[in-house]
Amino acid sequence: MTTDTTQSERIQKALSRAGVGSRRQIEKWIAEQRITVNGVLAELGQRISTKDDVKLDGQQVKILSEQAGLRRVLMYNKPEGVVCSRHDPEGRPTVFDRLPPLKGERWIAIGRLDINTSGLLLFTTDGELANRLMHPSHQVEREYAVRVMGEVTQETTTQLFNGVELEDGFARFTDIVDSGGEGINHWFHVVIMEGRNREVRRLWESQGLQVSRLKRVRYGSVIMPSNLRLGRWESLDQQAVDKLADAVGLSPKPVTPLNPKQQEQGKRLQRKRLKPEGRPNNKKDTKPKAKHKTTHKR
């Protein structure tokens, strides 16, 4: 076991940063005795360094220094009917099915969207970047376009802005913008600072209202472009990735483009016909652009 703490870091952080999986996944794998360090079963919170022999399910994991390595980030337009799991026991399509393949790395989803929610989903190979962008302490904004069924009054939006108590704690919208429409086709743009399960839907439901469409249009500084079609992805450039990293206190790292083979394989996967189980896209009632005019904001 590594004892030089000046050159080591906790195993969950090191493996997450190496792109093996999220910290929560790694903790689960340690509990399941799937990870070894120098031939001995890993322990939760154990410190490791680049000199240690780390294996997951018997396969070597390359540990890089905190300063080393590259950073890749993709933005993906998730369709309804597609799940965010890496593998789905029910055989439903997953968001990972259409991403470009990597060698020696893996894509980590930055947050999740439920099966009935579409829109912007970010992926990265940098586990530490993913962890910080998802963690509530960094207060990263998530903006959604939402179609609400029912009468939305000024009192309703005030209550949602001030906050309500949900079953898993206090929650609120930090920004609410009326985006127009009438009757069952009334749209709002809302912003939350956390990624709790079905949080946007549950906030509206707390006021006796039903969400009929939900689409994420922004995550932090990344706004999904209107020309990014459902089921398609685009790589973020160095400037966009550095801006994301800076927002959560990380230093810049080089962003290397996908090589020609990866790009071709990725494009081939993108051309596969989408067969989601959810509602097909309807251009007439989607609101793909992030809003900036504020009805409520603190």
Q: Give dist(CA 44, CA 116) in Å, integer.
A: 35
The catalytic position among 4, 88, 97, 114 is 114
- 237 carries an active-site annotation: no
* Residue pair 207/45 in contact by the 8 Å Cβ criterion: no
Name which of 212, 202, 219, 185 is nearest 278 in CA terms: 212
Q: What is the DSSP string of the chain?
A: ----GGG-EEHHHHHHHTTS--HHHHHHHHHTT-EEETTEE--TT-EE-TTS-EEETTEEEPPPPTT-----EEEEEEPTT-B-SSS-TT---BGGGGSPP-SS---EEES---TT-EEEEEEES-HHHHHHHHSGGG---EEEEEEEES---HHHHHHHHH-EEETTEEE--SEEEEEE--GGGEEEEEEES---TTHHHHHHHTTT-EEEEEEEEEETTEE--TT--TT-EEE--HHHHHHHHHHTT------PPPPHHHHHHHHHHHTSPP--SSPPP-GGG---SPP---SEE-
CA distance readout (Å), 140 to 48, 112, 221 = 30, 14, 9
295: its two tokens: 């009805």
- Residue 296 CA, distance from chain mean position: 25
Catalytic residue positions, numbered: 114
